[in-house]
Structure 1
């Protein structure tokens, strides 16, 4: 079940709804009623600081991530320029930005293939000896890491996504999750799909039908800005219990 914060709750009511609610509350609420209402709002605020959904590493996790400490993960891959900015926050510190977290990411290329794997029924293209589109960085004082990449493609059964594994500074696993991409007629996914070298949207699996994201993407959904000609930039916040 998804929760909304106080700002989202009030926004969903609209000004008229807030006014309509406020008048009878002011006229008829007892002190106990006021305390109960405040508790509900405070609870909705606190639950917004919750750990991001855990997801499977999938069939293609990075085999030796400690050897891939790098910001630029493009290697020899071609595609629409893409930057990835991830902020890690600690739910045990009121979602303060977490410095010193180790962040591994990996994603497929424009054709839907992963490095370090292949030559099988699951992925016919054999990339077992190369390591493109995989990298590791450590969060700075603002809890941030950045990567330079190319916009991922997609493959059968999955919407466009990025895999992420977060560790604490001593290497203990904190969370394995995935980053979802916005969809819609003007979304980056659609624009990139129609660009040179990508395979379009025919047969694409949308988030609602994806076997990982079909249960919802509210805390896994990224924000993406930019253009095909200038490249796209993704930003996303991941919350862990550290």
Structure 2
């Protein structure tokens, strides 16, 4: 059994006990990264030159409970944070990686302080957000295989690097792939820039942050799950990413 599968079996995805969200952050902590800094636009975008199916990953301990009820492109709700646009393109490996129209795409991610909606009040997440549905949404791909969501820049929590969860279905609702999206790291990455922002930055800084290379989901597949992130704290960031499925 691969180490990654073993870790999934154990459910080793940590959640730290954090404070209630606060808007400002004065932390100057940075992401530790052994690679050279490549700027906030760093990242190759998954599968840009590869027509193999993107890596399958765990949905994690906080999947959306009733995703069909959350058909929307703006998923911010009451969360505060740095502006963030998510653009995901779905391609079909059974059609030479042509754009896949009418695929159903669910996404979910934590808020800037590491909390998920629809869960809480347990050892996995102390703050109780069971009655709200922020930062979760569903869209259907257009003729270019594209879905776009308006959100806030995700935070992080113990044991995990910054990430977005994605579940893709065909037009009939049959599950095609559950995967995750990774973020570039480094002192000039969007993660680091959001952290040092005095408005809507990370309230807990980056002390204890888990890098992609040590993340128990990304450590063996991050190159195929890496996004491209451009923009700035003032103007907001834009993530672009391609996911390949067999449909």
TM-score of the superposition, structure 2-length normalised? 0.78
| Counterpart Cα distance in 2 of 1:168 and 1:220 | 20
Matched, 1:59 2:61: yes
What CA RMSD, in Å, does the superposition of the two structures yield over aligned residues?
0.9
**Relative to total residues, which structure has the larger helix share, 1 or 2?**
1
RCO higher in structure (CA 8 A, sep ≥6):
2
Partner of residue 91 from structure 1, selected from 90, 93, 96: 93
The whole-number CA distance in structure 1 between the counterparts of 2:143 and 2:169 is: 16
Q: Are 2:224 and 1:222 equivalent residues in the alignment?
A: no
Aligned partner of residue 66 in structure 1, secondary structure: helix
Give the alignment partner of residue 213 of structure 1, picking from 198, 210, 218: 218
- Structure 1 position 48, deviation (Å): 2.2
How far did residue 193 of structure 1 move? 1.4
Match of 2:244 in 1: 239
Residue 144 of structure 2 corresponds to 142
3-state SS of paired residue (2:213):
helix
CA contact (8 A) 2:183 2:228 kept: yes
Q: Which residue of 1 aligns with 2:84?
A: 82
Indicate the residue corresponding to 2:105 in structure 1. 103
The equivalent of 2:177 in structure 1 is 175
SS at match of 1:237: strand
Equivalent position SS for 2:194: helix
- Which piece of structure 1 moves more, 47-56 or 162-171? 47-56
Unaligned runs of 5+ in 1: 1-46
CA distance in 2, matches of 1:225, 1:114: 24
Tell me how far apart the structure 2 counterparts of residues 148 and 179 of structure 1 sit (CA, whole Å). 16
- 2:105–2:147 Cα contact (<8 Å) kept: yes
**1:170: how far off?**
0.2
Q: 1:57: Cα distance to partner?
A: 0.1
Map of 2:166 onto structure 1: 164
Q: Match of 1:218, SS?
A: helix
Measured in 1, the distance between the counterparts of 2:55 and 2:100 equals 18
**Residue aligning to 1:200:** 205
CA distance in 1, matches of 2:171, 2:183: 28
The Cα of 1:112 is off from its aligned counterpart by 0.1
- What is the distance in 2 between the residues matched to 1:233 and 1:87? 14
Alpha-carbon distance in 2 for matches of 1:122, 1:195: 28
